[in-house]
Structure formats: structure tokens, C-alpha cells
Amino acid sequence: MKNTIKELREKNGYTQDDLAVLAEVSRQTIISLEKGKYNPSIQLAFKLGKIFNLSIEEIFIYEEE
């Protein structure tokens, strides 16, 4: 699933480590999310929405296969 996490993170001036701490996940998870190699749980998606003050649909782009 595509997402705009990297762009949002950089826009807000966070490092991957900062975002990992805020989202209560590991830095490895943030890296995987940004590369689109991991789809987050609904809880993590909501947490990221809260951090960036955006809805889930504005962060994650669902594409039908």
C-alpha cells in the first residue's frame, strides 16, 4: 500500500527515530512503512493519523489489485 509517510515526516521535521518514538514502534517499522514493504495495523494507522493530524485516507493510498 502506498503512503505519504516519508513526505509528511520530513514536512514536520521528524527523523525516523522521532516518528518511531511518537508512534511507539521501532525505527525498522517506520523504514518498512515508508518503503511500502509493510502495511500497518489499524491502530498504528490511527496513531500516525493523530501524529500528522490527518485522516488515514490522506496518509495511505489504497489501490485495488
By CB under 8 A, which span of 1-9, 36-44, 52-60 interacts with other proteins? 36-44
Q: How far is the CB of 29 from other proteins (least distance, A)?
A: 4
Q: Which three cell numbers stand for residue 58?
A: 490522506
The answer to whether residues 19 and 9 touch, using CB atoms and an 8 Å cutoff, is yes
Picking from 44, 36, 43, the residue whose alpha carbon sits closest to that of residue 63 is 36
Convert residues 4-23 into a mask of x (bound to other proteins by CB under 8 A) and - (unbound).
Answer: -------------x---x--
Kindly state whether residue 27 participates in binding other proteins, applying the rule CB under 8 A: yes
Q: Which residue has the cell 514536520?
A: 12
